[in-house]
Amino acid sequence: MTDLTGIVEHAVFTVPNYPEGYSTDDNARALIVAILLEELGSSIPAGSSDLAARYLAFLWLAFDPTTKRFRNCLSYERQWQEPEVRKTVMAAHYGD
């Protein structure tokens, strides 16, 4: 469920649910797992260091230097979603 941007927020079974986009907290957790896998040494899956770099890059992108805070929701179209916008998008997506 990881692409060139980061880990996708949700899936339907094994299929990434791209309308959900990406979240900072999921990418931060994925970074922790990738780092822990690297610390295991020789038994790490191939490419885990590439994944750690990808998740860290997402976190750098999520940090807003103006507000000194992290943004949380990035759409699949690579647009940051404000909380109010995200609620509207989610309601339209789920028909609420």
pLDDT by position in tens, the chain (length 96): 899 999 999 999 989 999 999 999 999 999 999 888 888 775 666 666 789 999 999 999 999 999 999 999 999 999 999 765 555 555 555 655
Axis crossing angle, helix 48-62 with helix 24-39, rounded to the nearest 10: 150
The two tokens of residue 33 are 């797992």
Considering the entire predicted model, what is its pTM?
A: 0.78
For residues 14 and 53, give the distance between their C-alpha atoms in angstroms, rounded to a whole number: 23
